[in-house]
């Protein structure tokens, strides 16, 4: 059997499969279905400094080969995550977990990351810079290299654990933003977050979701994700976590050939809660089919 293990920012993973934030809750919900310790790790639900109720409903819309969501970072806030969610997770998951952090100003990010940095089970901090900057005219941190770098510097100043910056694809030059994050001290980059999409109800002639627009994800975005992972992985010298429309073991191999050290699975978890387990179980077969003896050897396998 081929070697599935990879090293992500100095932490060894049994395999590169990581359920993406927002699609796997805090893990223990899925632990009722199967032993989630088969995962490389997972990125838990996006956490903010204060609790958030999220956006008004309806906030999910189906579409061809994907979905649109505008959940709005609904979460109980970092204090409750530390007090209640992580202790429940610790009972069922015995590996380092990835903490996904969102914020609406630089101090939000820094304070939340500092608190999570103190939690022994947190292995990495995945900093989502695709959120509106409420003190910057509504612009997302992730569309401005300088703003993204400012977040990275603030987080790195208060944390000791690897910081992986999650980037938005809704930009003209994702490489410039990735390089700015690397220069500011990021230990890794994850991409892509959702594209911006919209659906309109023909009967009501109104947007399907209350927020009008939302994040478009699913198999339809996979080629865009592969392209951006390739561009970023060949421009930076830090690990890249690839995601965006991954739905099979073959997709995982393709994403790693493009340059991903590890691969996050998102929308497929909402379609099939066993998706990640099935992909892990199928990886040895696909590796044998394509004469791959070690996954770590194929990273950036396309020049």
- Indicate the angle between helix axes 222-233 and 174-183, nearest 10 degrees: 40
Which residue blocks in the chain are alpha helix, DSSP H?
A: 28-31, 78-80, 86-90, 106-117, 145-156, 174-183, 222-233, 249-258, 267-271, 275-289
CA 267 to chain centre: 11
131 is known as an active-site residue: yes
Name the one residue in this structure whose structure tokens are 């969610």.
85
Spell 179-209 as b/e; 16+ CB within 10 A means b: bbbbebebbbbbbbbbbebbbeeeeeeebbb
CA 53 to chain centre: 21
Cα–Cα distance measured from residue 121 to residue 85, given in angstroms and rounded to the nearest whole number: 12
Query: Of 30, 71, 27, which is closest to residue 52 (Cα–Cα)?
Result: 71
**Coil, strand or helix: which one is 267?**
helix
Residue 16 tokens read as 């590169």
Residues whose CB falls within 8 Å of the CB of residue 29, separated by 6 or more in sequence, listed in order: none
* Residues 226/254, Cβ–Cβ less than 8 Å: yes
Peptide bond into 58 cis (omega under 30): yes
Active-site option among 105, 113, 131, 276: 131
Name the DSSP letter for residue 45.
P
Cα–Cα distance measured from residue 17 to residue 269, given in angstroms and rounded to the nearest whole number: 12
Q: Hey, which residues are catalytic here?
A: 131
């Amino acid at each position: 059997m081929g070697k599935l293990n990879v090293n992500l920012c100095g932490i060894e993973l049994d395999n590169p499969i990581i359920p993406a934030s927002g699609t796997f809750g805090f893990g223990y919900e899925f632990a009722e279905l199967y032993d989630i310790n088969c995962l490389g790790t997972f990125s838990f639900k996006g956490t903010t400094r204060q609790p958030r109720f999220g956006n008004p409903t309806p906030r999910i819309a189906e579409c061809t080969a994907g979905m649109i969501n505008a959940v709005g970072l609904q979460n109980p806030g970092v204090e409750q995550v530390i007090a209640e969610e992580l202790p429940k997770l610790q009972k069922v998951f015995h590996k380092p977990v990835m903490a996904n952090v969102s914020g609406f100003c630089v101090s939000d990010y820094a304070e939340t990351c500092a608190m999570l940095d103190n939690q022994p089970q947190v292995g990495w901090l995945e900093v989502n810079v695709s959120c509106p900057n409420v003190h910057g005219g509504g612009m997302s941190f992730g569309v401005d290299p300088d703003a993204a770098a400012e977040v990275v510097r603030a987080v790195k100043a208060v944390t000791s654990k690897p910081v992986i910056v999650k980037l938005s694809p809704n930009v003209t030059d994702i490489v410039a933003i990735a390089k700015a994050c690397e220069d500011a001290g990021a230990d890794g980059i994850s991409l892509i977050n959702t594209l911006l999409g919209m659906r309109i109800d023909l009967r009501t002639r109104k947007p399907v979701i209350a927020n009008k627009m939302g994040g478009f994800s699913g198999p339809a975005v996979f080629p865009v994700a592969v392209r951006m992972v390739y561009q970023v992985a060949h421009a930076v010298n830090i690990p890249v976590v690839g995601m965006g429309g991954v739905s099979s073991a073959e997709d995982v191999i393709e994403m790693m050939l493009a340059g991903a050290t590890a691969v996050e699975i998102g929308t497929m978890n909402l379609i099939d809660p066993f998706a990640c387990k099935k992909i892990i179980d199928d990886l040895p077969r696909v590796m044998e089919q394509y004469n791959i003896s070690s996954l770590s050897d194929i990273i950036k396998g396309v020049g």
